[in-house]
Amino acid sequence: MQPAAAKWYDRRDSVYVEFCVEDSKNVQVTFDKSKMDFSCITGTDNIKHQNVVELFGEIDPKESKHRRTDRSVLCCLRKAEAGKSWPRLTKDKAKCNWLSVDFNNWKDWEDDSDEDLSSFDKFSEMMNSMGGDDLPDLDGAEEEKCLTLSR
């Protein structure tokens, strides 16, 4: 097994982690208060991926969700304490070679306007109503991000 490449970004209520895996099968995502476990099989070679992440802060496992597309699996980790920023995804300060910051989505949310928050709230509501995996892609944006990562 090998870790899947992933990007992450922080928001006021949630942390988002996108695992860039094409043609994923048998996707399993388990959320715990301080840990996240992701695994899947990808491609025609059936490569097995697994990422176990000890999280920087605590999350609400029941409110955390994931959504699978053809190119990635996006996880929305609902923070146990909203309003506290996470300087990193992992508990340890050690650099993970499979993990990077998603600068395209990163914002200094402490300076967010109400307008920015309303669009985030819409996305959160959509994630909550969607539930589990194997749901259709919203706009193809995730595919574009992961395409550049896989090249």
Q: Which residues face 49 on adjacent strands?
A: 2, 40
CATH placement of domain 6-84: 2.60.40.790
Q: Token match 């992961």: residue? A: 146
Q: Half-sphere exposure (CA, 13 Å, Cβ side) for 48?
A: 1
Amino acid at 60: D
Q: Token match 């506290």: residue? A: 84
Going by the DSSP 8-state scheme, the letter that residue 5 receives in this structure is P
Residue count of the chain: 151
CA distance 50 to 67: 17
Given this model, what pLDDT does residue 29 score? Answer: 97
- Tell whether the torsion through CA atoms of 84, 85, 87 and 92 is positive or negative: positive
Given this model, what pLDDT does residue 120 score? Answer: 52
- Tell whether the torsion through CA atoms of 53, 11, 5 and 138 is positive or negative: positive
- pTM confidence score: 0.73
Query: What are the structural domain ranges in the chain?
Result: 6-84
Given this model, what pLDDT does residue 122 score? Answer: 54
Given this model, what pLDDT does residue 105 score? Answer: 84
**Segments of the chain with pLDDT less than 50:** 114-119, 133-151
